[in-house]
């Protein structure tokens, strides 16, 4: 096949890429059966470093007591995550023992996986923030941290200043802010406009799309990476489609489950870098990670997906 025909075929499969050339869609570089073996990645705009577009959250799922019998299961969850191309894991001291368990369990994996460790500072005051960040690095057994974020904007001016100082000293690699509250979007936008940020983390899914109005376009314009939390709206999306069959045309974007359907809608947005679903079940993790492969929806397909979802 000629190079011209190859290019035309690529563009036919990847209209999102054609309309957003600044983003690196690894899955769009391949075609047909090859697309099912490639990993969809995005560039972190501030550096160009590539991240797989499906990561992992750890809220509640890794907050287990010492000596819990769930440890063996969670090691298998982590293995499934890394074996299927995952890299970014997000946590927080707000999540109880999650940071501690992640550090302990990841240390048991052989060979050592390629981890992009993300967590948050969630306290008040400069010294308290510094102490909390050090505790996070000790619990997660990572230094320097890949990404530290100000959790839900708590004491953001002081904590973000601390994160920037630590970044300059190479004690962490990237800085950011997070929210999962639409009520914080106005303040969130002001910070995005006024502060140097590598990442923002926000809530976005097929049911809650408020971030599309201002935050996602702003992140794209300013070159800020976007991590999406609550991609399943705390499981509510699955309740809305319970008992409903996946549409046959979902095969056109290589979706075999509603989970993949929901995730591909998110990561096909040209501003989104990574979505971070959380699960404590191995088969759910494997299903989530399949959204890292195959074709992505273009703008027309995204509208079709949305219209179908809203009709259920």
Q: What does the mean pLDDT of the chain come to?
A: 90
Instruction: Tell me the mean pLDDT in the region 18-31.
Output: 38
Cα–Cα distance between 273 and 201 in angstroms, integer?
Answer: 10
Predicted confidence (pLDDT) at residue 222 exceeds the cutoff of 70: yes
pTM here?
A: 0.89
CATH superfamily of domain region 12-311: NADP-dependent oxidoreductase domain (3.20.20.100)
Specify the pLDDT at position 66.
Answer: 86
Predicted confidence (pLDDT) at residue 29 exceeds the cutoff of 70: no
Tokens of 133: 């960040």
Write b or e for each residue in 65-102: b if 16 or more Cβ atoms lie within 10 A of its Cβ, otherwise e. Answer: eeeeeebeebbebbbbbbebbbbbbbbbbbbbbbbbbb
Q: Which residue has the higher pLDDT, 30 or 204?
A: 204
Instruction: Tell me the mean pLDDT in the region 100-115.
Output: 96
Specify the pLDDT at position 35.
Answer: 60
What single DSSP character describes residue 112? Answer: P
Beta bridge partners of 42: 51
pLDDT tens for 46-60 read 999 999 999 999 998
Give the pLDDT band (50/70/90) at residue 37.
Answer: confident
**Which residues have CB under 8 Å from 260's CB, separation 6+?**
254, 287, 288, 290, 291
Predicted confidence (pLDDT) at residue 213 exceeds the cutoff of 70: yes
**Which residues have CB under 8 Å from 43's CB, separation 6+?**
23, 24, 49, 50, 51, 273
Predicted confidence (pLDDT) at residue 33 exceeds the cutoff of 60: no
Specify the pLDDT at position 288.
Answer: 98
Give the ranges where 84-144 is alpha helix by DSSP (H): 98-108, 126-140
pLDDT tens for 252-285 read 999 999 999 999 999 999 999 999 999 999 999 9
Predicted confidence (pLDDT) at residue 31 exceeds the cutoff of 80: no
Predicted confidence (pLDDT) at residue 7 exceeds the cutoff of 70: no
pLDDT tens for 126-179 read 999 999 999 999 999 999 999 999 999 999 999 999 999 999 999 999 999 999
Please report which helix (H) or strand (E) contains residue 81, including its range: helix 70-83
Cα–Cα distance between 271 and 260 in angstroms, integer?
Answer: 19
Instruction: Tell me the mean pLDDT in the region 275-299.
Output: 98
Give the pLDDT band (50/70/90) at residue 107.
Answer: very high
pLDDT tens for 74-87 read 999 999 999 999 99
Rounded to a whole number of angstroms, the distance between the first and last alpha carbons of the chain is 42
Give the pLDDT band (50/70/90) at residue 196.
Answer: very high
């Amino acid at each position: 096949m000629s190079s011209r025909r190859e290019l035309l075929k690529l563009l036919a499969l990847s209209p999102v890429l054609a309309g957003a050339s600044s983003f690196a869609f690894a899955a769009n570089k391949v075609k047909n059966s090859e697309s099912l073996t490639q990993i969809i990645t995005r560039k972190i705009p501030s550096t160009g470093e590539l991240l797989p577009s499906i990561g992992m959250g750890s809220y509640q799922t890794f907050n287990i007591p010492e000596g819990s019998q769930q440890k063996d299961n969670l090691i298998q969850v982590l293995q499934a995550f890394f074996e299927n191309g995952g890299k970014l894991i997000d946590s927080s001291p707000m999540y109880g023992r999650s940071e501690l368990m992640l550090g302990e369990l990841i240390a048991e994996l052989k060979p050592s996986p390629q981890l992009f460790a993300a967590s948050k500072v969630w306290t008040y005051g400069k010294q308290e923030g510094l102490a909390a960040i050090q505790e996070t690095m000790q619990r997660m057994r990572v230094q320097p941290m890949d990404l530290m974020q100000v959790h839900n904007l708590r004491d953001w001016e002081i904590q973000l200043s601390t994160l920037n100082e630590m970044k300059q000293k190479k004690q962490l690699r990237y800085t950011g802010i997070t929210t999962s509250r639409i009520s914080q979007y106005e303040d969130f936008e002001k910070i995005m406009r006024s502060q140097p940020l590598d990442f923002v983390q926000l809530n976005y899914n097929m049911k809650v799309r408020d971030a599309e109005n201002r935050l996602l376009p702003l992140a794209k314009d300013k070159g800020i990476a976007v991590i999406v939390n609550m991609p399943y709206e705390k499981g509510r999306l699955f309740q809305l489609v319970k008992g409903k069959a996946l549409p046959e045309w979902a095969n056109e974007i290589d979706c075999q489950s509603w989970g993949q359907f929901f995730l591909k809608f998110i990561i096909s947005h040209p501003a989104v870098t990574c979505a971070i679903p959380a699960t404590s079940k191995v088969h759910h993790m494997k299903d989530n990670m399949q959204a890292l492969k195959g074709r992505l929806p273009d703008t027309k397909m995204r509208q079709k997906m949305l219209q179908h979802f809203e009709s259920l």
